[in-house]
Structure 1
Amino acid sequence: MSHAHRFDESTWPFDSPINTHSFTTRQVLDGGLPILEVYHDHDGDWQFLCGTTQDTADGRLVCLGCMIDRDAALLQLADLPVGWSAVRESTGHAWLRQPDEYDEDA
């Protein structure tokens, strides 16, 4: 099923399709907390988190495009390599990028 977004989809900068499943939290979606942590996991998944919870009960599955609708600053991370993360202090601050530690046995 497809749905519309508020941005110009013809200029999509991500390698992943607009409707790619990604992860966020209830606090971001329902509580309006800002996205302060982004993970482009080693398996290619995207996570957009507020940094307030790691409880799986708070997890939500969302469309990548809907996350961009929520915060256009995420477009700056379209080239974030697989296995990397980006964090910022608050909205308006620059993203700090870093490779993530990966434990295959975890």
Structure 2
Amino acid sequence: MQVLVEEGSCIEVPNRDATGIERRAHGEFVGPRGELASYAIGWTTGVEPHIGRLTVGIGAGNPGGGSFHAVVFENEEGHAFSLTDEPFERVPQGGPDLTAHEARAHEDLPFVWWVADLVMQRDRRAWWMRHWLLGTSSIRTAEVFELAEPILLVSHDDAGYWQLIGTSDADDSTGMVGHLYHAVDEDPTLIDVLDLPPGYSATRARVGDPWTRHRD
């Protein structure tokens, strides 16, 4: 049996100061031997610092069950987790909320970190959160930046730069620099290509069509 990471609901509401959006995304995990876990990730735009949240729940109704809570943050051009005492979210497979001390002493903590790593790799909402954490920049054509054209080409070049292009040809002299996650805020269908590796691009004929990936 293969590992399954299944995306669930995503709740979006204005943050407390109405300066951004608070997102909470849920999902389910099934391991190769039928191990079950539920998870939730979350982040809030419009606030500093950029810190994400994570809950992984295991063993609902069992003596060893519990909910593990962590923060997610930028670390050496990637992300890292740190256990926290503060509960984040309720998840179906979870049990009592564990403190950071209790979680560190739990025999299933290696499994929980394995779940967390696979969620960050396979859940598209986690890709979105990671670009927010890292402050990934993108270059948009003027027409795309002004929302006059839809994004039909996404390029992630070998140097690591992201470029978002509409129906007009790209012009380096008029490119506008902005955060990649802002473009996803405006067009959530970009979420499907947020895992493009360097040296690849993706195209589509119109918004809503499937993306086709290319090696540049």
Which amino acid is 1:83 matched to? G
- The question of whether the paired residues in 2 share the 8 Å contact of 1:15 and 1:78 is answered with no
2:142 maps to 1:26: yes
Q: Aligned-residue CA RMSD in angstroms?
A: 2.1
Q: Where does residue 104 of structure 1 map in the other structure? A: none
2:131 is paired with a residue of what secondary structure? coil
Segments of structure 2 that go 5 or more residues without pairing to the other structure are: 1-18, 24-42, 44-51, 53-124
- The question of whether the paired residues in 2 share the 8 Å contact of 1:27 and 1:58 is answered with no
Question: Sequence identity, in percent?
Answer: 31
2:165 maps to 1:49: yes
Structure 1 residues 56 and 89, CA gap change in structure 2 (3 angstroms):
same
Q: Where does residue 153 of structure 2 map in the other structure? A: 37
Segments of structure 1 that go 5 or more residues without pairing to the other structure are: 101-106
Q: Where does residue 103 of structure 1 map in the other structure? A: none
Q: Distance in 2 between matches of 1:24 and 1:52?
A: 11
Q: Where does residue 62 of structure 1 map in the other structure? A: 178
Q: Distance in 2 between matches of 1:93 and 1:62?
A: 24
Following TM superposition, by how much is the alpha carbon of 1:29 offset from its aligned partner in structure 2, in angstroms?
1.7
Q: Distance in 2 between matches of 1:44 and 1:30?
A: 24
Structure 1 residues 51 and 13, CA gap change in structure 2 (3 angstroms):
same
Give the count of matched residue pairs.
Answer: 97
Q: Distance in 2 between matches of 1:5 and 1:41?
A: 29
Q: Where does residue 98 of structure 1 map in the other structure? A: 214
Q: Where does residue 196 of structure 2 map in the other structure? A: 80
Q: Distance in 1 between matches of 2:129 and 2:201?
A: 16
Q: Normalising by the residue count of structure 2, what TM-score does the alignment of the two structures yield? A: 0.41
Q: Distance in 2 between matches of 1:98 and 1:5?
A: 34
Structure 1 residues 43 and 30, CA gap change in structure 2 (3 angstroms):
same
Query: In terms of mean alpha carbon deviation, does 84-93 or 54-63 score higher?
Result: 54-63
Q: Deviations over 1:71-98 (max 9, x none)?
A: 1111101221110000000001110001
More strand by share: 2
2:138 maps to 1:17: no
Larger radius of gyration: 2
